[in-house]
Amino acid sequence: MAIAGRLTKQPPERYDWLFTHRDAFHDRNMLPDLEALQKNVDMTHELGFVPSTLDVKKHTDLSIVEEAAKRLN
């Protein structure tokens, strides 16, 4: 909450929902949404911002995050 408050220059209390069950935008285990990321990568290519696209899953190693999540659960 403190970090979010500093970044946005808002009272930290406004961010009491971050990383809780009320946070609809983050995986509880902090895993990225690879499907959404792939769509973003593809869109930047389709819009002409980058010359080619890539397969996000081929370049992703979630083992560290998955191992950390196991320790917490």
Q: Percent helix, strand and coil across the chain, each rounded to 5?
A: 50, 0, 50
**What average pLDDT does the segment 46-72 reach?**
93
Per-residue pLDDT at 19: 77
Question: What's the rounded Cα separation, in Å, for the pair 39 and 37?
Answer: 5
Question: What's the rounded Cα separation, in Å, for the pair 63 and 56?
Answer: 15
Q: Is the pTM of this model over 0.85?
A: no
Per-residue pLDDT at 35: 93
Per-residue pLDDT at 73: 74
pLDDT tens-digit map of 21-58 = 777 777 778 888 999 999 999 999 999 999 999 999 99
